[in-house]
Amino acid sequence: MKLIIAIVQDDDVSELTDKLTENKFSITRLASTGGFLKSGNTTLLIGVEKERVEKVYEIIEKICRVRKVTTTLSSMTLTGDTYVPYPMEIKVGGATVFTLDVERYEQI
Ligand code: 2BA
């Protein structure tokens, strides 16, 4: 048994959970927040037999897209007394996925 933890963008979640459910995967959906952008994303917990892990990856890869986001960072001026905001474009996604071994799984 494996536990897949997938951090995905909110825009992809609906299609992704529909497709995973259609393929008989059980999912728990958690609202989460990225540390860098400090904006919302979604974390999915998916408990799965190890033979089906690749199928989950296949579905995630098909649905989760890379998007460009413009964020504002601050840098200090040469005199060191003022922070000047400047825009920065970054790529977010498709998805950040961890796969962990599950020591014990019970539904009590
Ligand atoms: P955030 O932390 O809000 O990061 C959003 C995007 O900002 C990242 O996209 C990456 O392109 C960029 N980024 C993150 N930290 C950065 C830094 N220190 N300097 C410059 N750019 C930075 P993704 O890599 O696709 O990550 C999307 C979200 O997945 C992250 O949102 C975070 O919630 C999660 N995540 C990514 N890597 C993780 C990890 N190693 N552990 C836990 N969560 C992770």
**Which pLDDT tens digit goes with each residue over 66-76?**
999 998 877 77
78 part of a folded domain = no
User: Structure pTM?
Assistant: 0.91
Report which protein residue has its CA nearest ligand 1's atom 32.
34
Q: At 60, which CATH number?
A: 3.30.70.120
Structural domain of residue 35, as residue ranges? 2-65+93-101
82 part of a folded domain = no
**Which pLDDT tens digit goes with each residue over 2-19?**
999 999 999 999 999 999
- 85 residue type, one letter: P
Category of 41 on φ-ψ map: left (φ > 0), alpha (ψ -120 to 50) or beta? beta
**Cβ of 34 less than 6 Å from ligand 1:** yes
35 part of a folded domain = yes
> Is 38:4 a contact under the CB 8 Å cutoff?
no
Tokens representing residue 44 in the block: 């999915």
71 part of a folded domain = no
Determine the straight-line distance between the first and last CA of the chain, rounded to whole angstroms: 17
- Write 24-31 long-range contacts (CB < 8 A, 24+): 25/52, 25/56
The number of domains in the chain is: 1
